[in-house]
Copies of this chain bind each other. A is one copy, B any other.
């Protein structure tokens, strides 16, 4: 059984966990707080990012991109469609949207919520910077307008087929939803899309996540939210 160094609310770790669950691969999870930059972890990954995929005592893939590719290469079943579309145009659209989420959305939204609301809990005397959170929330609103438009005009984020782009966005949205930062009232189409993703068996593992002394908002695990 592979194991994964991860953090339960880290979106990149969540993408890897969703992929493994979708492909029916059980995994041993080992929690890391990457922001603590512990010496032992920096030896594994000097970039201090999660996830890291390990099989036996071999480190198979270090960091988000390498892990995603390793999981797709090793575990994507031959018999059914994987999360990387076979059609070239759909695959290009998947990478465009994956990058939107993993780079742009992360850079403008998610990483601020993680830094202020999660990482700072481990810095004694430190409190969330409300100015930063306000700016991140304004950015989030702009992004949700775009995601909601995509959800309104397509079945899945990239088109007719569910792909890694859906898992990437769902991973980020689920972290923000855990923290209570998604205003579902203003995003009906995205809500419908998220409800379909959330109902998949692969999603169950994420919905059971709990971080000590940081409970999820109450609709987090509800399929009817």
Instruction: List residues of A (104-119) whose CB comes within 8 Å of B's CBs.
Output: 104, 107
Give the residue of B49, B61, B91, B99 whose beta carbon is less than 8 angstroms from that of A63.
B99
Q: Does A100 contact B (CB under 8 A)?
A: yes
Q: Which residues of B contact A49 (CB under 8 A)?
A: 99, 104
Give the residue of B46, B66, B100, B103 whose beta carbon is less than 8 angstroms from that of A95.
B66
Instruction: List residues of A (41-92) whose CB comes within 8 Å of B's CBs.
Output: 46-47, 49, 60-66, 69-70, 73-74, 88-89, 91-92
Chain A binding surface SS class:
helix
- Are the C-beta atoms of A92 and B64 separated by less than 8 Å? no
Given contacts A91-B73, A146-B46, contact A65 B96 (CB under 8 A): yes
- Are the C-beta atoms of B146 and A60 separated by less than 8 Å? no
- Are the C-beta atoms of B73 and A88 separated by less than 8 Å? yes
Which A residues have a C-beta under 8 Å from some C-beta of B? 46-47, 49, 60-66, 69-70, 73-74, 88-89, 91-93, 95-96, 98-100, 103-104, 107, 146
